[in-house]
Amino acid sequence: MSEPLIFHFDVDGENFASAGQASTQVKKNLRQLGVPAATIRRVSIAMYEGEINMVIHANGGTADVIVSEDYIEIILADKGPGIPNIEQAMQEGFSTATDQIRSLGFGAGMGLPNMKRYTDTMEIDTMVGVGTTITMYVYL
């Protein structure tokens, strides 16, 4: 693979049922590229959690996945409310999700910790009232 491959997705913030479609597609693409199964699982879980977060908290956004020879980069960008306290948001169990979201199986305060757990590096760039961009790397 000489040139990095770039996959771009718009994440619909209006439809909880369809959340995860981008992650599903990325999983298929990585399989076709022959990426090891364990790596695919890490990438897809991290991206899926991010997608769910964008739908729950930020009314959607965009997801870009860049596949190069040495790494897979996942960039999730939204124009949501931003994260006022990143340290707090990274704690397992901390969540601002509503009871309705919890009844759908998410909002347990595991999203961001899981994203960090399954990737090699994760950076959060956020501004309250402007939005959040999360960049994650999984090395090949």
Partner 1 sequence: MKISEIRDLLDAEVLCCEDSLDQEVFTACGSDMMSDVLKYVKDQAVLLTGLCNPQVIRTAEMMDMVCIVFVRDKMPSDIMVSMAEDDDIVVMTTDKRMYEACGTLYANGLIGKAIHV
Number of Cβ atoms within 10 Å of the Cβ of 61? 25
Burial of 14 (0-12, 13-18, 19+ CB in 10 A): exposed
Q: Which of residues 120-139 bind partner 1 (CB under 8 A)?
A: none
Q: Which of residues 78-97 bind partner 1 (CB under 8 A)?
A: none
Exactly one of 12, 49, 73, 78 binds partner 1 (CB under 8 A); which one?
49
Closest CA to 33 of 6, 8, 64: 6
Contact 52, 12 (CB under 8 A): no
Mask 10-29, x = binds partner 1 (CB under 8 A)?
------xxxxx--xx--x--
- Does 9 interact with partner 1 (rule: CB under 8 A)? no
List residues binding partner 1 (CB under 8 A).
16-20, 23-24, 27, 37, 41-42, 44-45, 48-49, 52, 102, 104-111, 114, 117-118
